[in-house]
């Protein structure tokens, strides 16, 4: 990655004379999905707002595509950078289409009239975010998740080169979260957009982010690949021993997990997904699944169910309960 879209040098952010974060030096490149993580109240939203020029920086320099962001006119800035915050926006009686159409403001004339190109971009933004069914509905009647989808569509309608998202999955259900991650991966890796999103979803971050901007408890900002952040121990410090990251799977575990080992045997024609879900259940019960000598052996029965020693178990829930309690 060499196309730097957004960069900060010796940046200090905060409010009036109270600095929240200092000495920030980071870059965001074309085609990059970066995740900003840190504890609540540590300054993630403040940094986002400052990078978008929604609040003044206290010191340092911010550049957008090589130009000082302070030198850009509001229209120039809006044509290059879009931001979606968690704040609930007052939309009056606007319908979904009208809200998304506001994203074309940097590209329309003095009177804000939409031409055929604008309408195509709006339709594409609605389609990309799977929000077409919301176009004719009053925004005031939509759920928080539906509003969030439209706000992201509005940002895409700006056709920016940089997109900043402050906790975009906060109000989305599981399916919508997965759709959003898929969308962001497409926008970055296939279309070259530079995206920075703040998130508390560590597992999704480890799986999908190209880079991580981590704010430490000492209010330092450290950036690097997810694996580098994990290897250096920064991620574990952020979790504060509340959980442990599995480097192989990117999942979080906690408590006394993996205090014993378990082996799993199965018929040769055992479906792969049944074997995988069985292994996950055994791990959830507190065992490390592996080859070789094991403390307990779980047998997947060809006739259905599972057996541990002489105990027959008819469901994965029963298997987990037995492994945890022996009863």
Residue 83 confidence (pLDDT) above 80:
yes
| Within-domain flag for 94 | yes
How many helices (H) and strands (E) the chain has is answered by 11, 17
| Within-domain flag for 36 | yes
Pair (102, 181) in one structural domain: yes
- Give the single-character DSSP code of 133: G
Pair (240, 95) in one structural domain: yes
Q: Residue range 306-314: average pLDDT?
A: 94
| Within-domain flag for 66 | yes
Pair (130, 78) in one structural domain: yes
Range of the domain at 138: 4-245
Pair (149, 265) in one structural domain: no
Pair (214, 278) in one structural domain: no
CB 33 within 8 A of CB 26: no
Residue 256 confidence (pLDDT) above 60:
no
pLDDT at residue 93, as a whole number: 83
Pair (241, 278) in one structural domain: no
Assign 3-state DSSP to the chain and report helix, strand, coil percentages, each to 5. Answer: 35, 25, 35
Pair (162, 292) in one structural domain: no
Reduced to 3 states (helix: H, G, I; strand: E, B; else coil), residue 318 is: helix
pLDDT at residue 258, as a whole number: 57
Name the H helices within 129-191: 144-157, 174-185
Residue 278 neighbours by CB distance under 10 Å: 21
Pair (142, 42) in one structural domain: yes
Domain limit, last residue, from 245, 278, 302: 245
Q: Residue range 173-178: average pLDDT?
A: 83
| Within-domain flag for 87 | yes
pLDDT, one tens digit per residue, over 103-129 is: 998 888 666 789 999 999 999 999 988
| Within-domain flag for 252 | no
What is the chain's mean pLDDT, rounded? 89
| Within-domain flag for 80 | yes
Domain limit, last residue, from 176, 211, 245: 245
Confidence class for position 16, pLDDT limits 50, 70, 90: confident
Task: Provide the domain count of the chain.
Answer: 2
Beta partners for residue 14, in sequence order: 19
| Within-domain flag for 146 | yes
- Give the single-character DSSP code of 210: S
Q: Residue range 282-304: average pLDDT?
A: 87
Q: What is this structure's pTM?
A: 0.82
Q: What is the CATH number of the domain that holds 147?
A: 3.40.50.300
Domain limit, last residue, from 210, 245, 280: 245
Backbone angles phi, psi at 287, to 5 degrees: -115, 150
Pair (266, 215) in one structural domain: no
Pair (178, 73) in one structural domain: yes
Pair (193, 308) in one structural domain: no
Token readout for 188 is: 């970055």
| Within-domain flag for 254 | no
pLDDT at residue 254, as a whole number: 64
- Give the single-character DSSP code of 186: I
Pair (11, 128) in one structural domain: yes
């Amino acid at each position: 990655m060499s196309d730097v879209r957004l960069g900060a040098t010796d940046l200090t952010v905060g409010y009036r004379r109270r600095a929240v974060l200092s000495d920030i030096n980071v870059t965001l490149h074309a085609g990059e999905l970066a995740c900003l993580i840190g504890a609540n109240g540590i300054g993630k939203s403040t940094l986002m707002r400052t990078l978008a020029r929604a609040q003044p920086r206290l010191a340092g320099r911010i550049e957008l595509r090589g130009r000082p962001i302070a030198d850009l006119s509001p229209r120039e800035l809006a044509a290059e950078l879009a931001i979606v915050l968690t704040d609930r926006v007052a939309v009056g009686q606007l319908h979904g289409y009208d809200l998304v159409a506001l994203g074309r403001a940097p590209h329309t004339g003095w009177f804000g009239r939409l031409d055929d190109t604008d309408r195509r971009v709006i339709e594409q933004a609605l389609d990309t975010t799977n929000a077409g069914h919301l176009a004719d509905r009053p925004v005031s009647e939509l759920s928080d998740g539906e509003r969030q989808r439209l706000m992201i569509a509005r940002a895409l309608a700006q056709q920016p080169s940089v997109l900043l998202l402050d906790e975009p999955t906060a109000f989305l259900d599981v399916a919508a979260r997965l759709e959003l991650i898929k969308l962001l991966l497409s926008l970055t890796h296939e279309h070259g957009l530079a995206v920075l999103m703040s998130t508390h979803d560590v597992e999704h971050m480890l799986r999908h982010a190209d880079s991580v901007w981590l704010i430490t408890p000492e209010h330092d900002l450290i950036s690097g690949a997810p694996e580098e952040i994990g290897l250096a121990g920064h991620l574990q410090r952020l979790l504060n021993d509340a959980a442990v990251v599995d480097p192989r799977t990117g999942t979080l575990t906690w408590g006394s997990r993996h205090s014993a080992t378990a082996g799993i045997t199965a018929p040769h024609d055992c479906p792969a997904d049944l074997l995988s879900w069985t292994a996950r259940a055994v791990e959830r019960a507190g065992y490390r699944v592996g080859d070789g000598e094991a403390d307990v052996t779980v047998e997947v029965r060809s006739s259905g169910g599972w057996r541990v020693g002489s105990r027959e178990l008819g469901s994965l829930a029963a298997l987990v309960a037995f492994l945890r309690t022996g009863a």
